[in-house]
Chains A and B, each alone.
Chain A
């Protein structure tokens, strides 16, 4: 009798392990037929060499551009593309650590440093658009028609209507700091000048939502702004001026400096983004959903002002 009891106990422990184990087993065996969900790679792990890791600034992701480009590249080159969206600061860090093969970001100064420090090979500026200062439709400070610098001066002077900053070391955050500087302010002073200056510490989407809740102004890339326009109810206040230029560039990580896994494919991707066919697709992107293209392709003729 005692033996029998032990058998049953071990039986049910074993079945418990099996239930969970069979679930778990699929994590390492792609293509297991017992699961309906492993039609693609499921949770399986391909060899690192057959994956290309791209760290992208979230604006290229949130606008849906990467969702369009990713499968196209995968099909053409037979590689699995992993798109990690982060802000420019984090994307650059991933690159420096060798955790991704290529970065697509938008902060020229930091990109040049990245290359100068040996982390990146070449910079391919593939598209641009503009930053916009957005705010409530009522435009409480009457910033419409001003330049970005004048608008920032007025914001800092009034200290009544809040301004929401990304505050996250993103490309947009860098641009904001550049505008404060151009407007003649010390950024640290602005940060500490009172409750009107709000730091979201989040991506563009959540920052726009926070600005909408607070009926505040914020700086956004035009793509993400348009993608969130209907939910937030914010409108474009200032959208002109060379300081608002926003150039997106792809930089493969330098295999001579950091141990990346798929350097050759990364170079191919940068070239691919600059190819006429893909440039055309980028230039047309957004017309269907937003009535206006979100990006202007600029391979070979990067705008400077």
Chain B
């Protein structure tokens, strides 16, 4: 118990004194994961809508496959990205391995199936009536898709938050493709892993608390945006 208490004190201390290494790792965690999540969202929203609204053979199978990728181990994605971007791999010439850019790519790959699956579920959760009414009122396919995304925005927000959560909390991929280079690719999770292995439990705990604080902050910002969205929708859409 004392260790946890000391960790909490150390966290407050680190935040107050703005420890350079920790601050940088925290910032890096946030920027890398946020970028990866935005990229994943940009891919998932239109692709999810497309999959949901079209009917084709194997659609169910495809959705099951996307759901399977929810449990994709981060180290497996890490290994895949490592082999792809290693100098002797097919994309090695870009020299991206062990840089923040590759961490963004890896995390986006990891998070996209999750967001995609949740976007499809979110759209499926909207009353059929909304879609039918929209079409009956003469909405074209594009307008109808937009309307559906708008209707499903709460669940889509949740998808984004979950995706961001998975990105910022993962360690295996960040370690494998980022390399945990101090001052360059070290993020909070890889720093925690290193400090724990060094036996600095307090610092690890402190950084864990900072990571949680970041997640809380992001959630607050997003739910604030969501609230503003709710104000807009005071009247029925159709």
Taking beta carbons and an 8 Å cutoff, which residues of A are in contact with B? Answer: 5, 8-9, 12, 15-17, 19-21, 23-24, 26-28, 35-37, 40-45, 48, 53, 62, 67, 80, 82-85, 96-99, 202-203, 205-206, 209, 228, 231-232, 258-261
Contact = CB atoms under 8 A, between A and B. Distances in A.
Those 7 A-B pairs whose CB atoms lie nearest each other, nearest first: A98-B87, A24-B35, A48-B95, A37-B27, A43-B100, A84-B179, A82-B181
Given A43-B32, A62-B198, A205-B197, 15 more contacts: A9-B232, A12-B225, A12-B228, A17-B38, A23-B35, A24-B34, A26-B31, A27-B31, A37-B23, A82-B98, A97-B86, A97-B87, A202-B197, A205-B198, A259-B88
B150 A19 contact: no
Interface in B19-73: 23-24, 27-28, 30-32, 34-35, 37-38
30 contacts: A12-B225, A16-B222, A16-B225, A20-B38, A23-B35, A27-B35, A27-B104, A28-B101, A37-B23, A37-B27, A41-B183, A42-B28, A43-B27, A43-B28, A44-B100, A45-B99, A82-B184, A82-B185, A97-B86, A97-B87, A98-B86, A99-B97, A99-B98, A205-B197, A205-B199, A228-B199, A232-B199, A258-B88, A259-B87, A261-B95
A148 to B, nearest CB: 26
Contacts of B225: 12, 15-16
Main secondary structure, interface of B, reads helix
Interface string B177-215: 001111111000000000001110000000000000000
Interface of B: 23-24, 27-28, 30-32, 34-35, 37-38, 86-89, 92-93, 95, 97-101, 104, 150, 179-185, 197-199, 221-222, 225, 228-229, 232
Contacts of B28: 42-43
B100 A27 contact: yes
A85 B175 CA distance: 11
Given A12-B228, A231-B199, A83 B34 contact: no
Contacts of A67: 182
Nearest to A28: B101
Contacts of B179: 82, 84
Given A5-B232, A16-B222, A260 B87 contact: yes
Given A84-B179, A99-B86, A203 B100 contact: no
B98 A19 contact: no
Contacts of B199: 205, 209, 228, 231-232
A53 B34 contact: no
Given A41-B184, A82-B179, A206-B197, A27 B92 contact: no
A45 B23 contact: no
A37 B24 contact: yes
Contacts of B104: 27
Contacts of A12: 225, 228-229, 232
A15 B183 CA distance: 30
A42 B184 CA distance: 6
Contacts of A232: 199
A53 B27 CA distance: 23
A40 B23 CA distance: 12
A268 B86 CA distance: 24
Contacts of A21: 38
Nearest to A24: B35
B228 A35 contact: no
A202 B197 CA distance: 9
B189 to A, nearest CB: 15
B87 A99 contact: yes
Nearest to A206: B197
A84 B182 contact: no
Contacts of B99: 45
A228 B199 CA distance: 8
A5 B181 CA distance: 47
Contacts of B101: 27-28, 45
Contacts of A41: 183-184
Contact of A45 (B30, B93, B100, B232): B100
